[in-house]
Structure 1
Amino acid sequence: MTNQPSPGRPSIPPAAAGAATEPDATHSTGQLSTEQRATAQHPTEQRPAAPAPGTPWRRLPATWAGAVSRGLAQVLARPLGPHQTAVVRIGFAFTWLCFLLREWPYRHELYGPGGPWSWDMARQFIGTNDAFTLLMWSHGRGWFEAVYALALVSSALLMVGWRTRTMSVLFMVGVLSLQNRSILMGDGGDNVIHLVSLYLVLTRCGAVWSLDARRRARAAATTPGARAYEGPGEPGRDLTGLVLWAVLGLALATVTLLGQLSTGWALVFWGLWAAHALWWAAVRHARDRGGPTEAVTVLDTLANLAHNGALLVIMVEVCLIYATAGWYKVQGSRWQDGTALFYPMNLDYFSPWPALSDALGSSGLMVMVITYGTVIVQVAFPFTLFNRRVKNVLLVVMMVEHAAIAVVLGLPFFSLAMIAADAVFLPTGFLRGLGARVGRGTRRLFPHRAPAVLPGPRSGDTGADAGTDTGAGTNGDPSTGTGANPDANPDPNADGDTDTRTRPDNGGAEASGATVPGTVGFRP
């Protein structure tokens, strides 16, 4: 029998009626509580769910939490900007190498013990700031020639990407030794080289466009499934890397025992040497076990973090250079009235082509446009990073401006250093296309015969595993050595292109990110 509401009595929904049947002192009197009355009036209204306990991002909006999680995954999972880092490596090594070659006839006057800034004066000055330089260990001519040769050789090998982990350290040693020996001989470009040489030590700058990448690609092509091999021969044996690591360790131990290194620099060099050994041991242990281990994953993650942090510092450094230069120019009266460019073009020291300087300086409109345009571009560039198209336009303008400075004002090495620094902001799609064109041109100039027979997959290797991640570059081109992988995460600098998942630097005795057979790189 259906219960019908009696006349004069309010109708109670079933939910409220069920609730009214609960044994309660209020219900026993026939009255509804305030909460039950609200439920009866709004039966479909529900309370908001409480945040899940233990969630670290429960106080942040969901979109923010997702963005932070994706950002951390990008920073820790792989080295970002491998092509940009390779361009910076090649650009600065090439600039320093060309500078050393040009100054070869005058090297003794610039950095030698008999120069205007004498060895005793340099020793007194360095005693106040503890700057690092090998040239203070001896004032002999032979020692100076050895250090200068070290700077030349390390620059050339870093440029071509041979043992980039070791060469980046030796490149830093060469730059600091010469520049700290004669601090009055440098300019703004030398300061940029000085800073970037420190940052390159922490980057995986040989992941692409290097002899290391080429060696890994060849090893992977000739030995299917063995992605950790550092060269031809017996898998996993890197005799060159071991010898190089042992020789440098012996040299480091010798100078440490002789007391030539300060405590800070001794910790830096011994830390780098030990990190290389630790990585080699972890990779060898993982290879013996047949797969990545926790130690390799942790070390690879730390290396990615160091690489991405150093790359960010280089970007910030470039932005600070342009921002400070632009704002200081704004405060100058000659930059305010648009005549600043006229004065250096009328100095003999900055006029390698007098006719060209006279032609530009004779036009007041041209001088004013270039003067104001320089200030506007330098002040605006850091803010254009939020707009990719505007950033790319200003990047081209600044590179053209530095090229003009090299020709008109006769400052080629300053301009090369700044162009190499600007290259860190180049889009990945452009760099990959440029690398592919250079690779095709190189193959036309230097054709080589492909191997007639390649070994097939070993027993136990599947076809998919034997044919993946061979270290080939774009469109399967092994000459670029980009380690392309279609499943890689997109690079934020790629302008819509999907970046390659690069294999880290060379292993063996050097701290690098070689991979283990049966895996597509160590990834956390």
Structure 2
Amino acid sequence: MGVEGPRVRIERCVSRGLSRVTAQALGPYQTAIVRIGFGAAWLLFLLREWPHRQELYGPDSPWSWGLARQLIDTNDAFTVLMWSSSDSWFQLVYLVAVAAAAAVLVGWHTRAATVLFMVGVLSLQNRSVFMGDGGDNIIHLMAMYLVFTRCAQVWSLDARRAKRADGDGGADGDGSGDGSGPVRTVGGTGGVVLWAVFGAVLLGSTVAGGFSLGWALFYWAMWAVHGLWWAVNRAAVRGGAAVREMRDVCDILANLAHNGVLLVIMIEVCLVYSTAGWFKIQGTRWQDGTAVYYPMNLDYFTPWPELSHLLAGNGLMIFLVTYGTVATQVAFPFTLLNRRAKNVLLTFMILEHLSIAVLLGLPFFSLAMIAADAVFLPTVFLVWLGRRTTALGGRARRLMPGGGPRSPEPAPEQPAEAPKVPASGPAWRS
């Protein structure tokens, strides 16, 4: 056999790369933890602000409905809260946003839930644009990205339903989950009901002029794609080779969209940290190592005044934290070239956000940033974390009153129960 030339090696490398990005949705555990993290951050924020929802986004907001209407007429932002100024409509939208965040968190009918989640985030945030912070901005972006990902392949009710259906000779329920394999049986009516309700709302809002042309085309396209996906899955159950081939093509397109958006999320996180770090370098307070001192002496950012004052009184600690923050943010995008350096720096960044949550009283900002960082966590670590969480949950259920005896859990080494770890990109290799 002859020695392969550079051209042959390049062609094989390109072929393997194309096969990976079309044959499977990469990073299933990473996208699942991102979905859970952002769903939890938005849900907890909405629940925490429930007593103040009227002042934040409702009729009692300082940014009145009329001012919001004028701004949206100029920037063409999307919010369903502009459809009516009534309090009843606001309360309904807020409740739907809470329900959508909970559905995304647990992975229930995830394709429809992520669209509704995006509608809730955009509607509330665009209603009062001056109420947000950096955490709200990242939630705003990720809410749109999650719509295009297959983020419920693991750790979701959709995945559990698909597993049970496969065990019974079926498939992923009503076809509204994120199943990545061939569908043999499509049953259930939950997804069909959601699709029909969304279609009726879209039709009514479009006729009433509630959408701009761009947003109307986007939502109608999403509605049509979801309906086509369900129809193709259902036809593939007893259809011929042509129908199954069409289903495979749709699956490839879904994988391409997922993998492309996953890359965008990774780039987005790198841009957030790199731009934040480089802007800090230009600030005099960051240059002299005192920037962290000032927020620790503001009443608004000191939920634990004694602890904040104790740390602020240590000049060496302030200096190290200030310079360490800048160095970590600037260096993070470059550490992706080395998985060990990336994992170490990622640990420091997560600890930094936990410190911000406690010391500065910004839990939702920190949770949103940790959820974004999770896209770079190693697959092996996430699999271990999932196993430990499942084991602790089973132990807690056995200890509950009336829990009764439970059948022993299968050993982790059993092939039938060992989670499949798909090949992942270099950013999250362990």
TM-score normalised per structure 2: 0.91
For the structure 1 residues 136 and 473, does the alpha-carbon distance in structure 2 shift closer, same or farther, using more than 3 Å as the test? farther
CA contact (8 A) 1:322 1:379 kept: yes
Summarize deviations over 1:479-504 as a string: whole Å, max 9, x none: x9x5x3xxx8632359778xxxxxxx
Match of 2:204 among 240, 243, 254: 254
CA contact (8 A) 1:151 1:175 kept: yes
Give the aligned partner of residue 230 of structure 2: 280
For the structure 1 residues 357 and 280, does the alpha-carbon distance in structure 2 shift closer, same or farther, using more than 3 Å as the test? same
CA distance in 1, matches of 2:296, 2:236: 62
Give the aligned partner of residue 404 of structure 1: 355
Give the aligned partner of residue 15 of structure 2: 69
State whether structure 2 residue 133 is matched by structure 1 residue 196: no
CA distance in 1, matches of 2:164, 2:23: 25
CA distance in 1, matches of 2:406, 2:307: 54
TM superposition shift of 1:314? 0.6
Give the aligned partner of residue 342 of structure 2: 391
CA distance in 2, matches of 1:243, 1:230: 10
Summarize deviations over 1:404-457 as a string: whole Å, max 9, x none: 0111111111111000000000000000111011111222222589999xxxxx
CA RMSD of aligned residues (A): 2.6
Give the aligned partner of residue 179 of structure 2: none
CA contact (8 A) 1:135 1:178 kept: yes
CA contact (8 A) 1:220 1:229 kept: no
State whether structure 2 residue 44 is matched by structure 1 residue 98: yes
TM superposition shift of 1:109? 0.6
CA contact (8 A) 1:427 1:493 kept: no
For the structure 1 residues 322 and 137, does the alpha-carbon distance in structure 2 shift closer, same or farther, using more than 3 Å as the test? same
Summarize deviations over 1:37-58 as a string: whole Å, max 9, x none: xxxxxxxxxxx99x9xxxxxx9
For the structure 1 residues 391 and 147, does the alpha-carbon distance in structure 2 shift closer, same or farther, using more than 3 Å as the test? same
For the structure 1 residues 406 and 146, does the alpha-carbon distance in structure 2 shift closer, same or farther, using more than 3 Å as the test? same
State whether structure 2 residue 317 is matched by structure 1 residue 366: yes
Match of 1:156 among 89, 102, 108: 102
Listed as ranges, the matches of 1:446-461 within 5 Å are 446-447=397-398
Listed as ranges, the matches of 1:298-317 within 5 Å are 298-317=249-268
Q: Which has the higher helix share?
A: 2
TM superposition shift of 1:473? 9.5
CA distance in 1, matches of 2:290, 2:429: 42
State whether structure 2 residue 178 is matched by structure 1 residue 227: no
CA distance in 1, matches of 2:120, 2:362: 22
For the structure 1 residues 372 and 192, does the alpha-carbon distance in structure 2 shift closer, same or farther, using more than 3 Å as the test? same
CA distance in 2, matches of 1:191, 1:236: 38
Amino acid at match of 1:287: V
CA distance in 1, matches of 2:414, 2:323: 44
State whether structure 2 residue 295 is matched by structure 1 residue 344: yes
CA contact (8 A) 2:174 2:190 kept: no
TM superposition shift of 1:284? 1.6
SS of match in other structure, 2:130: helix
Listed as ranges, the matches of 1:101-140 within 5 Å are 101-140=47-86
Listed as ranges, the matches of 1:36-55 within 5 Å are none
For the structure 1 residues 282 and 433, does the alpha-carbon distance in structure 2 shift closer, same or farther, using more than 3 Å as the test? same
Amino acid at match of 1:400: L
SS of match in other structure, 1:184: coil
For the structure 1 residues 477 and 134, does the alpha-carbon distance in structure 2 shift closer, same or farther, using more than 3 Å as the test? farther
CA distance in 2, matches of 1:473, 1:238: 32
Match of 1:269 among 219, 240, 258: 219
SS of match in other structure, 1:241: helix
CA contact (8 A) 1:94 1:156 kept: yes
CA distance in 1, matches of 2:158, 2:412: 13
The range that moved more, 421-430 or 442-451, is 442-451
TM superposition shift of 1:228? 4.8
The range that moved more, 308-317 or 66-75, is 66-75
CA distance in 1, matches of 2:330, 2:390: 37
TM superposition shift of 1:352? 1.1
CA distance in 1, matches of 2:230, 2:272: 38
Amino acid at match of 2:229: W
State whether structure 2 residue 426 is matched by structure 1 residue 490: no
CA contact (8 A) 1:168 1:200 kept: yes
For the structure 1 residues 219 and 378, does the alpha-carbon distance in structure 2 shift closer, same or farther, using more than 3 Å as the test? same
Contiguous gaps of at least 5 residues in structure 1: 1-47, 52-57, 453-471, 498-524
Match of 1:329 among 280, 290, 296: 280
* Higher RCO (CA-CA < 8 Å; seq separation 6+): 1
Contiguous gaps of at least 5 residues in structure 2: 176-183
Amino acid at match of 1:369: L
Amino acid at match of 2:334: F
SS of match in other structure, 1:280: helix
Summarize deviations over 1:317-372 as a string: whole Å, max 9, x none: 00000000000011111111111111111111111111111111111111100000
Give the aligned partner of residue 418 of structure 1: 369
CA contact (8 A) 2:26 2:423 kept: no
Amino acid at match of 2:96: L
TM-score normalised per structure 1: 0.75
CA distance in 1, matches of 2:109, 2:405: 25
TM superposition shift of 1:280? 1.4
CA distance in 2, matches of 1:358, 1:328: 26
Summarize deviations over 1:2-35 as a string: whole Å, max 9, x none: xxxxxxxxxxxxxxxxxxxxxxxxxxxxxxxxxx
Larger Rg: 1
CA distance in 2, matches of 1:269, 1:256: 10
State whether structure 2 residue 299 is matched by structure 1 residue 354: no
SS of match in other structure, 1:61: helix
